[in-house]
């Protein structure tokens, strides 16, 4: 395939907004080989390693581990890459390594299948998170690791690391956790939280960690300039996604639905301002973000039905609907029609369950809804 077909520098923004980034078109086998090579290099000679989601929350945890303990190798791993990252630790880490896993929650037993092998190699395993956990998976992890899961309505993973690591942190790191929480829990009270989130998204993970270790939540002027430049395109992509938004009534909820390569939080905020109780942003790569409000706090329940998970007001998923490239071609040309419908059906399932629950409660109140 000619590189110019996927080159973000030459594709017009209107088309770029409906297509995935060039990394999407890299075969998984190539990515796997590169990930293994990088893991082998990072883990060679390392006394400790942090497996973390490379967003501002996960990288905030990495920063705190390094402040508390000194050097630590970083293995970036998204929510669907936990299994591979732990396999790399089991295969390449030095005996006696201290392992930290941050801002990640397994979706299935396969994600933690190699954890016993990691435990035989590691001196310790500590796991800090704040997502919704399956009780069985939590028990499995606790057989091998010190697992601390914070309240997803109150804490981000950086908060959990701050209170769990044996170190007297400076006030700036408590502030870093608070600002990270502001974005991760979608509180939207501190403008610096968007800066942290955007910087983590656009910058290399190591550079982000080095910056917040030195500066905390108050990013230096050169970072502010970098963000201002990148946000010109970001705002244009947000505008495209907002213009595509449609609104559906599902039971008592108004659900805003849109499609595009964009910053999902700002798009969700725009849909909320238009009256959406919940927002769905379907991405060209096939995944989707679900955002709630005070009127809808069941995002994680919607996502759980479509191959995902998360928090009551913020969740993510990737519907299992893509069988070949023709499905993806249909996805791009229809602006995510099948994915949108699949996720809306998950909202409708919640609505029906709520109606059934209300009916059962009414029957029980009349005394004729139970069984002997």
Is residue 158 a contact partner of residue 176, using CB atoms and an 8 Å limit?
yes
Q: pLDDT above 70 covers what percent of the chain?
A: 95
To which residue do tokens 């501190």 refer? Answer: 190
* 2 found inside a domain: no
Residues 283 and 178 in one domain: no
Residues 154 and 197 in one domain: yes
* Neighbouring C-beta atoms of residue 137, cutoff 10 Å: 17
Residue 367 confidence (pLDDT): 38
Average pLDDT over residues 87-100: 97
* 209 found inside a domain: yes
Residues 66 and 209 in one domain: yes
Average pLDDT over residues 166-172: 97
DSSP letter string, 34-86: HHHHHHHHHHTT-SEEEEE-SSHHHHHHHHHHHHHHS--EEEE--TT-HHHHH
Residue 363 confidence (pLDDT): 42
Burial class (CB in 10 A: 0-12, 13-18, 19+), 33: exposed
pLDDT tens digits along 327-371: 999 999 999 999 999 999 999 999 888 765 554 444 443 334 333
Domain with 180, as residue range(s), is 45-219
* 341 found inside a domain: yes
Residues 201 and 252 in one domain: no
Terminal alpha carbon distance of the chain: 67
> Looking at 203, 219, 235, which one is the last position of a domain?
219
Higher pLDDT pick, 252 / 29? 252
Residues 169 and 297 in one domain: no
* 297 found inside a domain: yes
Residues 208 and 251 in one domain: no
* 134 found inside a domain: yes
Average pLDDT over residues 247-253: 96
| Least-confidence region, from 26-30, 41-45, 134-138, 292-296 | 26-30
- Alpha-carbon gap, residue 344 to 279, rounded angstroms: 10
Return the DSSP state at 170: -
* 234 found inside a domain: no
To which residue do tokens 């606790």 refer? Answer: 142
Residues 88 and 146 in one domain: yes
Average pLDDT over residues 164-176: 97
- Alpha-carbon gap, residue 280 to 288, rounded angstroms: 7
* 308 backbone dihedrals φ, ψ, rounded to 5°: -155, -165
Residues 201 and 314 in one domain: no
Between β-strands 314-317 and 288-291, what pairing exists: parallel, antiparallel or unpaired? antiparallel
309 has a pLDDT exceeding 90: no
- Alpha-carbon gap, residue 225 to 337, rounded angstroms: 37
Residues 203 and 265 in one domain: no
> Looking at 219, 253, 288, which one is the last position of a domain?
219
Q: In the chain, how many domains are there?
A: 2
Name residue 74's beta-bridge partners.
50
Tell me, rounded to whole angstroms, the distance of Cα 34 from its chain centroid: 22
Residue 77 confidence (pLDDT): 96
> In CATH, what number is assigned to the domain containing residue 341?
3.10.310
* 97 found inside a domain: yes
Residue 1 confidence (pLDDT): 67
Name residue 278's beta-bridge partners.
255
> Looking at 219, 237, 254, which one is the last position of a domain?
219
Q: Which residues of 292-323 are buried (b: 16+ CB within 10 A; e: fewer)?
A: bbeebebbbbbbbbbbbbbbbbbbbbbbeebe
- Alpha-carbon gap, residue 159 to 121, rounded angstroms: 28
Average pLDDT over residues 119-140: 96
106 has a pLDDT exceeding 60: yes
* 210 found inside a domain: yes
pLDDT tens digits along 30-71: 888 999 999 999 999 999 999 999 999 999 999 999 999 999
184 has a pLDDT exceeding 80: yes
pLDDT tens digits along 236-247: 999 999 999 999
Q: pLDDT above 90 covers what percent of the chain?
A: 83
> In CATH, what number is assigned to the domain containing residue 200?
3.40.50
Angle (deg, nearest 10), helices 171-184 and 157-164: 150
Reduce the DSSP state of residue 263 to 3 states and report it.
coil
Alpha carbons within 13 angstroms on the beta-carbon side of residue 233 total 15
Residue 370 confidence (pLDDT): 35
Residues 166 and 270 in one domain: no
To which residue do tokens 């905030």 refer? Answer: 60
In the chain, alpha helices (H) = 13-16, 28-43, 56-69, 82-92, 115-121, 135-142, 157-164, 171-184, 192-202, 205-215, 221-243, 264-273, 299-304, 325-333, 337-366
Between β-strands 253-259 and 146-149, what pairing exists: parallel, antiparallel or unpaired? unpaired
Residues 189 and 260 in one domain: no
Residues 277 and 209 in one domain: no
């Amino acid at each position: 395939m000619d590189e110019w077909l996927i080159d973000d520098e030459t594709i017009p923004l209107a088309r770029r907004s409906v297509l995935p980034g060039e990394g999407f078109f890299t075969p998984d086998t190539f990515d796997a080989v590169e990930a293994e090579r990088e893991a082998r290099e990072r883990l060679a000679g390392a006394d400790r390693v942090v497996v973390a989601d490379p967003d501002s929350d996960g990288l905030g945890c990495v920063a705190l581990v390094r402040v508390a303990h000194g050097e630590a190798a970083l293995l970036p791993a998204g929510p669907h890459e936990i299994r591979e990252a732990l396999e790399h630790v089991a295969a390449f880490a030095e005996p006696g390594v201290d392992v930290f896993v941050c801002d990640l929650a397994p979706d299935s037993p396969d994600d933690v299948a190699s954890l016993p092998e990691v435990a035989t190699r590691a001196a310790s395993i500590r796991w800090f998170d704040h997502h919704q956990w399956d009780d069985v998976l939590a028990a499995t992890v606790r057989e091998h690791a010190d697992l601390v899961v914070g309240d997803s309505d109150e804490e981000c993973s950086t908060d959990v690391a701050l209170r769990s690591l044996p170190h007297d942190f400076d006030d700036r790191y408590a502030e870093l956790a608070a600002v990270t929480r502001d974005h991760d829990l979608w509180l939207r009270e501190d403008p610096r939280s968007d800066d942290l989130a955007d910087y983590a998204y656009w910058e290399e993970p190591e550079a982000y960690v080095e910056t917040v270790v030195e500066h905390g939540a108050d990013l230096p002027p050169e970072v502010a300039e970098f963000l201002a430049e990148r946000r010109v395109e970001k705002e244009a992509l947000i505008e495209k996604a907002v213009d595509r938004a449609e609104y559906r009534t599902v039971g008592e909820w108004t659900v805003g639905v849109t499609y595009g390569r964009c910053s999902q939080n700002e798009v969700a905020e725009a849909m909320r301002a238009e009256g959406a109780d919940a927002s769905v942003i379907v991405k060209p790569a096939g995944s989707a973000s679900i955002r709630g409000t005070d009127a809808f706090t069941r995002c994680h329940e919607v996502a759980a039905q479509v191959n995902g998970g998360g928090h009551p007001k913020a969740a993510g998923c990737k519907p299992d609907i893509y069988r070949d490239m023709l499905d993806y071609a249909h996805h791009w040309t229809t602006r995510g029609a099948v994915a949108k419908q699949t996720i809306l059906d998950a909202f409708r399932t919640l609505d029906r369950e709520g109606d059934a629950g209300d009916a059962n409660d009414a029957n029980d109140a009349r005394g004729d809804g139970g069984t002997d």
